[in-house]
Amino acid sequence: MLVLTRSIHKVILIGDKIEVAPDRIGTKVVRFSVRASGYPIARGECPSAGDASKDGVLIIARKCGERILIGDDIVVILLEIQGNRVKVGVTAPRDMVILRDELAA
């Protein structure tokens, strides 16, 4: 698992088609925007939360320890809320590159 610290609107790039970013950070809940065209997206406890293929973006709220499942083998988990930043863990296949958006150029 790769662990990244992100603030509001700072994107995590997974592969070449998936973007995950915290939209709103509260004291107990973080709202994420997930852009993953063509990938099914689910909450960890619910097998079918939505599909981002129509408009390309799904907004989903998570508490610490809760997961976002993207496709069959990508997991994004909210690990910790630290004021206006969050720690996010990402698990993906080894052949998928995971980058902070500021490093993708």
pLDDT tens-place string over residues 36-76: 877 777 766 554 555 444 456 888 999 999 999 998 899 99
In a domain, 7, yes or no: yes
Number of domains in the chain: 1
In a domain, 100, yes or no: no
Residue in 18, 50, 20 with CA at minimum distance from that of residue 37: 18
In a domain, 98, yes or no: no
Residue 84 belongs to domain spanning = 2-93
Query: 41: Cβ–Cβ under 8 A, 6 or more apart, which residues?
Result: 34, 49, 50, 51, 52, 58, 60, 68, 69, 70
pLDDT bracket for residue 93 (50, 70, 90): very high
pTM for the whole structure: 0.86
Read off the amino acid at residue 71.
Answer: G
